[in-house]
Amino acid sequence: MQIINDLLSILNYEATVVDIRQGPFQTAVLTRHCGLASTPHDPGPHHDRSPVKETGYLLDKDAAGLARMSLSPSDLEAAIGMATINSLIEVDESNCEELNAADLIARKGENKNVAIIGHFPFITRLRSIVKELWVIEKNPQAGDLDAKESENYIPQADVIGITGTAFTNHTIEGLLNLCNPDTYIVVLGGTAPLSPVLFDYGIDAVSGTLVTDSELVLRYVSQGTTFRQLKGTRLLTMMKERD
């Protein structure tokens, strides 16, 4: 996963791992800052396996070791790693604006072919704005396409929104490779790293989350918050200037 390795390579690891919370919907790690990632929904029995191998001892890891969990084949471990990466990124707010990903995709996708990787709440709104809308999901809902259809539809998209959980399940590079060179690519969601490193991979905009109140966020995550319930955050979008 070169894109994750590139993120790891630019981080300052001189930070103490203060707290780790993994709720049913959100994962939070507190180091220099508080970082978030979506908690994967891992179906099936878990009594005979250990999705997070060192649970109970993760605070003994240093920041670098915790961040490298982003490369783990376990989605739950990778979510902890991505939250750690987000906690270590020094977000340049001067290069961001308070713009919701839904508004950006709607603006860029008007009367165009749009693909969304992940089922987001704004899907219904988009259908009345865009020309064609393809929602591609690992666990498809009514009207969605199965993830196996990605290679049939992504190359046709003028605009694509990719969930940040594609970093956690390590599908991000495969999805990017399917995109047409002229496709406008947005990575979005709480897991999305607000780092210009992503622009080196053809991504045009990153719509992520900046934690403004760590104590509040940790409390919400511990109590089973969903992303839409979460308080103590700001939604920011960082955009690449196109040539």
Shared domain check, 162 and 64: no
Name the domain count of the chain.
Answer: 2
| φ, ψ dihedrals at 145, nearest 5° | -105, 145
- The answer to whether residue 116 is domain-embedded is yes
Q: In angstroms, rounded to a whole number, what is the distance separating the alpha carbons of residues 183 and 204?
A: 9
pLDDT of the residue at 243: 46
Residue 197, Cβ density class (10 Å: 0-12 exposed, 13-18 middle, ≥19 buried)? middle
Partners of 113 in the β-ladder: 132
Task: Please give the radius of gyration of the chain, using alpha carbons only, rounded to the nearest integer.
Answer: 17
User: Which structural domain range is residue 123 located in?
Assistant: 93-210+232-239
Q: Indicate whether 225 belongs to any domain.
A: no
Residue 138: the pLDDT is: 85
What was the pLDDT predicted at 134? Answer: 96
Question: For 163-202, how does the pLDDT look when each residue is reduced to its tens digit (9 = 90+)?
Answer: 999 999 999 999 999 999 999 999 999 999 999 999 999 9
Helix 75-88 with 2-9: angle, nearest 10 deg? 40
Q: What percent of the chain has pLDDT over 90?
A: 86
> Tokens 């979510």 map to which residue?
79
> Does residue 105 share a domain with residue 38?
no
At residue 83 the predicted structure's pLDDT band, cuts being 50, 70 and 90, is very high
Residue 80 lies in a domain: yes
Q: Does residue 50 carry a pLDDT above 80? A: no
Q: In CATH, what number is assigned to the domain containing residue 120? A: 3.40.50.11590
Specify the pLDDT at position 196.
Answer: 96
Asked if residue 154 is part of any domain, the answer here is yes
Do residues 104 and 178 both lie within one domain?
yes
pLDDT digits (tens, 9 = 90+) for 93-110: 999 999 999 999 999 999
Task: Flag whether 215 is in a domain.
Answer: no
What is the band of 46 on the pLDDT scale with cuts at 50, 70, 90? Answer: low
pTM for this entry: 0.94
As beta bridge partners, residue 37 has 27
Note whether 130 and 79 are same-domain residues: no
CATH number of the domain residue 54 falls in: 3.30.390.100
